Amino acid sequence: MQNTTSLITHQYDYGVDQLSYFDVGNGQKTILLIHGFGEDHCIWKNQIEFLSTTYRVIAPNLPGVQCKPLALHHSQAPSIRMYVEVLHELMHHLAIEQYYIVGHSMGGYIGLSFADYYINHVQGLLLLHSTSYEDNDAKKSNRLKVAEFIEEWGVSKYLETATPNLFGNAFKNANPAEIQNTIESGSDISKEAMIQFVFAMRNRKAFTQLLQQNTIPVWMLAGDEDLAVPIQDSLEQIKLLPSTNSLVLQGVGHMGMLEAPDQVNQFIQQFIKNA
């Protein structure tokens, strides 16, 4: 397993602060790894070790993770597009014109929006435990409750409550230290940034047309014990894809990168080779 403390952390100035990112490997193909809500880029530790032997891997923290959140102007509402623009600027700064995007959960939402706006740069998109659907009314209502909880109780308390439920039962029971490490990794995200993420997700639109139009290769990986992205939603979207472009992990929740790293790594490699 890659020890991320041994990786060189680079900095990129996005206006209000500097975000951290890993830039590892020197292969001809480049992969942009986008982490999810309540996480930092160290969530990709297993994937960075495996993929960087063959590819160049860029794994940034999103704005607000270990740095200041994005500045909102006047009545501007948080949006997924805001994060797309920062990551697009980062890749332009690195002079990388084409790349594959792998997005986990909220990172998948960002990847979908990225492909919609900058399709000429995206060679393929892999959604890990994510969805092209927008929030339904029940989910939007729950987002408000999450924002209120974080505002009142803070980020650490929220992650202590929510994070264990992201893992499949067997992994959760056998790996309490990994669960705790995941909680601690996200606990230094500011309250303001977490609430901004919540409303960006709540405000996002659907991108199911990207799966239907097949203008770029879209692949999906799901877990059959995922409580954050219901497996039925994933299966409905998988039907829109070629049969080789999807994988459902048995006994896995929302965190396949940690729960089943070998299977996830092999699937990402298959995606890069065939997309």
Query: For residue 97, what are its two tokens?
Result: 């014109």
Pairing of strands 122-128, 56-60: unpaired
**Confidence band, pLDDT 50/70/90 cuts, at residue 5:** low
Q: pLDDT digit string (tens) for 20-54?
A: 999 999 999 999 999 999 999 999 999 999 999 99
Q: What is the DSSP annotation of 164-231? A: GGGS-HHHHHH-HHHHHHHHHHHTTS-HHHHHHHHHHHHHPPP-HHHHHH-SS-EEEEEETT-SSS-H
Give pLDDT tens digits for 206-264: 999 999 887 899 999 999 999 999 999 999 999 999 989 999 999 999 999 999 999 99
Are the C-beta atoms of 268 and 102 separated by less than 8 Å?
yes
pTM for this model (two decimals): 0.96
The confidence band for 3, taking pLDDT boundaries of 50, 70 and 90, is low
Average pLDDT, the chain: 95
Token pair 């992969």 in the structure block, residue: 31
Instruction: Show the tokens assigned to 139.
Output: 């989910």
Contact in structure between 127 and 246 (CB atoms under 8 Å): no
Domains, in order of start, for the chain: 4-274 (3.40.50.1820)
